[in-house]
Chain A
Amino acid sequence: DVKVTQSSRYLVKRTGEKVFLECVQDMDHENMFWYRQDPGLGLRLIYFSYDVKMKEKGDIPEGYSVSREKKERFSLILESASTNQTSMYLCASSPAGRERDTQYFGPGTRLTVL
């Protein structure tokens, strides 16, 4: 069974802290994605990675960075957390290329920045 896990379900951090969100998939997928979800805005892509050490900016990369050192793990880093980064963060993975398979989502991390 397909599985995407995220390191925390709930996280509370203070403004200015460095925050790490981790995502692990066990499906040997090439692609991994980080989204944030806010009411009325749907899902917005922050970054995605199509291979180890490869990354591409999504629609809202400002204030975020990512790391993908191993195929199964994709980390989202908030260099200096701010209150406007309070949100639900969703990780997803998918196989690459012409299979056009769906994206598989993790359970989400609800981050609150105080």
Chain B
Amino acid sequence: ELKVEQNPLFLSMQEGKNYTIYCNYSTTSDRLYWYRQDPGKSLESLFVLLSNGAVKQEGRLMASLDTKARLSTLHITAAVHDLSATYFCAVGESYNTDKLIFGTGTRLQVFP
């Protein structure tokens, strides 16, 4: 059974600092997704990672995937307050299904 773990669960960081959110998963998968959720809102897609070594960047966020280590990272560079949100990773359950298994989320707060 596929398990997805994120850490940390909660992250409070100062503006201008860098940090990384980790997403580990327990069995082989061919795809991984990152989503952002603002308070009271729905999930918004950030990145789709489909191969080992894939790296995607958007603004101050960069996501990478290491399928051999079963690990994805979401790196935040020079954080700003607007990045405050909850970030979820989701992993494809298997090659033969479009189901995703979600991590529990990382709540990020950026303060001045």
Contacts and interface: CB of A to CB of B under 8 A. Distances in A.
A71 B3 CA distance: 30
A105 B100 CA distance: 13
Contacts of A101: 48
Main secondary structure of the interface of B (DSSP, over half): strand
Contact of B43 (A31, A40, A58, A90): A90
Interface stretch (A13-21, A41-49, A78-86): A41-49
Interface residues of B, number: 22
Interface extent on A, as a size class? 20 to 34
Nearest to A35: B102
B88 interface: yes
A11 interface: no
A43 B43 CA distance: 10
Interface in A75-114: 90, 92, 94, 96-97, 100-108
